[in-house]
Amino acid sequence: MNVMLKRAYEEPGADDGYRVLVDRLWPRGLSKANAKIDMWLKEVAPSTELRKWFAHDPEKWTEFKHRYRQELKGNSVWPELQAMAREKQLTLVYAAKDELHNEAVVLRGLLERSA
């Protein structure tokens, strides 16, 4: 399983495969045509409460990962993302500036472990 990560503001690439936006909110200033998103899976994103609590603060990263994984246990869309990752080349698209501390990083780690 090869799951790639890419910021929504980066140019889509030919090797991206199936591009899934994993943010709850559409990236600011980005048109849907330019984003080239195959699926917007906002239901797999962290809850609004968790997203606001985390606020991309690296100090909260460990606790964010724990809370997010707990949310995913009851998420009805999570199995769909797992199935997609097994079936095709997948790029998880996110808008966060921090490339190391965001929900896509957590999702890729979980997908690779569940392969």
Alpha-carbon distance 51 to 8, whole Å?
A: 18
Amino acid at 94: Y
Edge-to-edge order in the sheet of strand 18-21: 3-7, 90-94, 18-21, 39-40
pLDDT of residue 103: 97
CB 26 within 8 A of CB 7: no
Residue 94 has pLDDT above 90, yes or no: yes
Model pTM score: 0.94
- Per the structure, the complete domain to which residue 34 belongs is given by 3-113
Residue 114 has pLDDT above 90, yes or no: no
Domains held by the chain: number = 1
pLDDT of residue 50: 97
How high does pLDDT run on average in the chain? 95
